[in-house]
Amino acid sequence: MNSIELFAGAGGLGIGLHLAGFQPSRVIEWNSYCCDTIRENQHRGVETVKQWPLTEGDVRLIDFSSYEGKVDLVSGGPPCQPFSVGGRHKAHNDTRDMFPQAIRAVREIRPRAFIFENVKGLTRTTFRNYFEYIKLQLEHPEILPKREEDWADHLSRLEQHHTSGSRQGLNYRVITQVLNAADYGVPQKRERVFFVGFREDTGITWHFPHGTHSRDALIWDMLHGHYWERHEVPKRHRTVPRHAKISRDRPSTQAWRTVRDALTGLPDPVKNPMEASQIANHRFQPGARSYAGHTGSPIDEPAKTLKAGVHGVPGGENMLLRPNGYIRYFTVRESARLQTFPDDFLFHGSWTETMRQLGNAVPVDLARFVGQSVAQHLRSA
């Protein structure tokens, strides 16, 4: 099945969807560093991206009408700064809000389905009306705003159309949900909101796939010693999260994957710098320090959310924290592991720039998991 990827970034969502069975007809990204990363991996022959038809440019300047009726899936992560906790919270007044372009692409391409994702902050009470506005536009992309009509008045017209029962024109069945990547086997507590829609004439009914991993299963494995034995951790160094309770039977889910799980097989860049230097993007970055609110990610839990930062990488969010209090920055390769990028995928640019790419990315395995479910239903239809 074919797709078009908007706002591709460094490729996390696109790689996951490629692994789920989608082949992009076009991949669009405006950031030159992200495009350099994709091109470098194409030049190296990395399977997941080598055939991507990459366009470096502004999505606002692209006419999608030639793809009408020829595409199974449109996907992308519209820039999220307007809704991010770390952003300026301007939402619809922010010129970086690219949801209107995502909606335009759906209107012009008329794909059988779409997958868009964004930061959890979009679901905050502050943005609730605008969240509903986005969802209704995706459900009825041909109900356009009138000239000089503000978004609140357009929302009212969309609500009236939606409740009228009229199903003429282009309509999608859209559902949204906040997913925690840790619940799907990603070694990172990263919450993102997903918009998934199927064109109404496909007749597809769908729900988000249930999580496969859980904290309870991790605690069970720790308390029974399985986790520690797997990693050959001496008993004196074993710690279990506070207030941990154990059930009689092991939970049916798999255990959350931890930072320790993710870094298995990678040499420590401090203890073994020569060995680490043989691995791409695996160089020690000095200067890590801990302070209030920036204490790093405990090694025996899924990592905290990796962040891109408005002015570089936040001091403590992208750090490894060991039980003895030792902290250091994650290397780029370690961060890529936490985002479940393949080990043969390299990142282009300085440490700060590559960490920005990673902090903005969708975890590959989360995208793959959602994409596989969507692909299965499209094939059935």
Residue pair 334/260 in contact (Cβ under 8 Å)? The answer is no
**SS3 of residue 82 by DSSP:** coil
End-to-end CA distance of the chain: 13
Based on the residue annotation, tell me whether 34 is a catalytic residue of this protein. Answer: no
CA dist., res. 192 & res. 203, Å (int) = 27
CA distance 212 to 192: 17
Which of the residues 80, 134, 136, 308 is marked catalytic?
Answer: 80
Burial annotation 45-60 (CB, 10 A radius, 16+ → b, else e)? ebebbeebebbbeebe
- Give yes or no for a contact between 115 and 194, defined as CB atoms under 8 angstroms apart: yes
User: Rounded to whole angstroms, how far apart are CA atoms 299 and 257?
Assistant: 10
Token pair for residue 70? 């020829």
HEC secondary structure over 229-275: HHCCCCHHHCCCCCCCCCCCCCCCCEECCCHHHHHCCCCCCCCCHHH
Which residues are marked as active site? 80
